[in-house]
Every structure is written in structure tokens, then in C-alpha cells.
Structure 1
Amino acid sequence: MALFDDFIFDATDGGKPSETIVTPVDEIKYERSVGRYLWVIDRYGLKLILEATPNNALARGIVCHTNITGGEPALQGGELWFGDDGKVYINNKSGRYGSATPVQDAAVFDYFVSLGYDVVQLSGHTTG
């Protein structure tokens, strides 16, 4: 069992973590840390973790994308908020697993939709 397994939500079948933090849409547009989840698509599906989850091994004190994967490869990663309007807001901002092209952004968007989420893409691709 990996160190953060108890905090990782398997969202491959859609849905939300049991104690989901819902964020007002007006706050999401600023991409603030309150209610921010990290997401990763790996070979098993979509995984989420609340970014505020403590990680004392890192100087920043909270988890990062590799805490979801255990340092293993992933297809894409980014940040996510559950809006108070029922929509899921995502970006592709991961220093390790971020997208490199608009085509990858579109594929991620389509994947979230295929899982049943009503998705809003917040920003374009990153180079990380």
C-alpha cells in the first residue's frame, strides 16, 4: 500500500470523494488553493487527492502529483475544483504530468466527459 492510498479517490467511475469540498464558482476562476484537488490519469484511470493533504516529507508540506502515482508514469495531470454549480473545473497544470499540446487538453476534456462529469476547462496546456 502506498503512503497516500487512504487519501486518493478513484474517480474512474465518475463521482466525488465522500467529503468533497465544494468551491464557489467565483473563487474557482482565480484557481486558488481552497478546495483544489490534484488529478492524474494513469493506466488504471482517474485519481484525485485533495491538495491540502499533509505531506511532511516535502518542503511545501502538502501532496503533489507524484504522491498519487508513487512516482510511476501517468498520461496527464492537473488541478480540479468541484464547483457549487455542480460542474467540475479542471486545468492541465502539473509540473510532471501536464499537457504539452491543445490536442492533449481536448483528450483530457473528452475523458472527463466520458466519465459523466460536466466539465469546464480553465486554461490551456502547460509545458511541464
Structure 2
Amino acid sequence: MKLTQLRYWGVLLACALVVLFLLPEGVMEATTGQGFSTKLLLEIIIGYLQSGKPIANITFTTYGSTALITAKFFIVQLKLAHYMKIPPKVMFLIQILGSLLPCLVSFSVGWWFLYSVKNICHPELLPKGSPWTCS
């Protein structure tokens, strides 16, 4: 059994739905100041496609909703940079660097924990009351 229970087509479907809903949700939020949440719709879709797999449902919903929120936030930042006369290429480069740097730091810290805490993946060998576990 896979840890996430979500197959590759689930990730691709989440990305496709983000692309599909980005324009209508972005236009609605830009014109009215009020957006709508697609999180419930994403939960319904994956709940129908993969019923009985809660980790897959949570993973799919998280990928879809987080990607949509991030994409809208990037667009808002580009709009603000346009008003401040910051060149779009510079702003885009800063956004990409600001997205990649936290990913690399988070991955590095997680990797470091896996190899620095002894017996992290063997809960029976850890000291009693230890907060460290490994999935």
C-alpha cells in the first residue's frame, strides 16, 4: 500500500482543475473582492473517484486548493508589482526564488532529521516518550 494512496492521475487531475478554475475564480475575486472556495468541490470529486481512501482525499484536496491559492497570490503580487513599476521578469524571478528556497530548506531539514535522529523509523527502539516518529 502506498503512503498517500493517490495515484499519478490524481495529481494530474488536481493540476487540471486548478488551471480550469483559476481564471473564473480570479476574475470574480478581482471584480467583486470576494472569491469562492473550490475546496468542497475538490473533496466531492475525489471522494467520488476514490471513496474509502481518506489520505488520498486529503492529499488531492490539499494539492488542488493550495495550488489555486498560491496561483492567485502570485497574480496579486504581479499586479502590485505592475503598479509599483517593478519589471515583470524581475518580479517573476523573485517569486520563483521565493518558492524554491522554502522547498529546498524544508526538504533539507526533513532529510537531516531522517538521518540524524537514531532509530527514527523504529518506534520500539526510541526512548519512552520520544516525539519522533517515521511514517
The bucket for the TM-score relative to the shorter chain is under 0.3
More strand by share: 1
More helix by share: 2
Task: Tell me which of the two structures has the higher relative contact order, counting C-alpha pairs closer than 8 angstroms and 6 or more residues apart.
Answer: 1
The structure whose Rg is larger is 2
